[in-house]
Structure 1
Amino acid sequence: MDKRLLEILVCPLCKSTLHLDSEKHELVCKADRLAYPIRNDIPVMLVDEARSLTADECQ
């Protein structure tokens, strides 16, 4: 994923910074405990498409 794109993307729900999880191909919002998928190198920034993180994943 392009680093410049990662710098400007924010969580659509709370507008906080997202963190790249390159192993799972997701952008993670620790504030809302959501992970947004990256499909075909395109981040899917829809709350309905995000998965909830477990307590262990938020640390």
Structure 2
Amino acid sequence: MNNRAPAPSGDRQRRIDPELLEILVCPMTRTPLVHDKEASELISEAAGLAYPIRDGIPVMLVEEARRL
């Protein structure tokens, strides 16, 4: 049973494992991503896309990414 308290409902950002951030790459260009903590996104400068992070989980789908 999980005894962890749920995150506050307004908390869009959850901590992302730094090791995960090191291995994630843009699915379109296979280039490294930049973590924008304020926007809760992973930025692919090469593709000009921002991948959302929802509930602490990166959504690495091109069709879900925002154009920069």
TM-score, normalising length: structure 1: 0.88
- The answer for the alignment partner of 1:34 in structure 2 is 49
2: CA distance, partners of 1:34 / 1:17: 12
2: CA distance, partners of 1:41 / 1:2: 9
1:12 counterpart SS class: coil
Stretches of 4+ aligned residues off by more than 3 angstroms: none
2: CA distance, partners of 1:29 / 1:21: 11
Does residue 20 (structure 1) correspond to residue 46 (structure 2)? The answer is no
Unmatched tracts of structure 1, length 5 or more: 54-59
Unmatched tracts of structure 2, length 5 or more: 1-15
> Rg: which structure is higher?
2
Question: How many equivalent residue pairs?
Answer: 53
Q: After superposition, what is the alpha-carbon deviation per residue over 1:16-51, rounded to whole angstroms, capped at 9, x for unaligned? A: 000000000000000011000000000000000000
- The answer for the alignment partner of 1:44 in structure 2 is 59
TM-score, normalising length: structure 2: 0.77
> Given residue 17 of structure 1, which amino acid in structure 2 is its aligned partner?
P
Question: What CA RMSD, in Å, does the superposition of the two structures yield over aligned residues?
Answer: 0.3
Paired-residue identity, %: 58
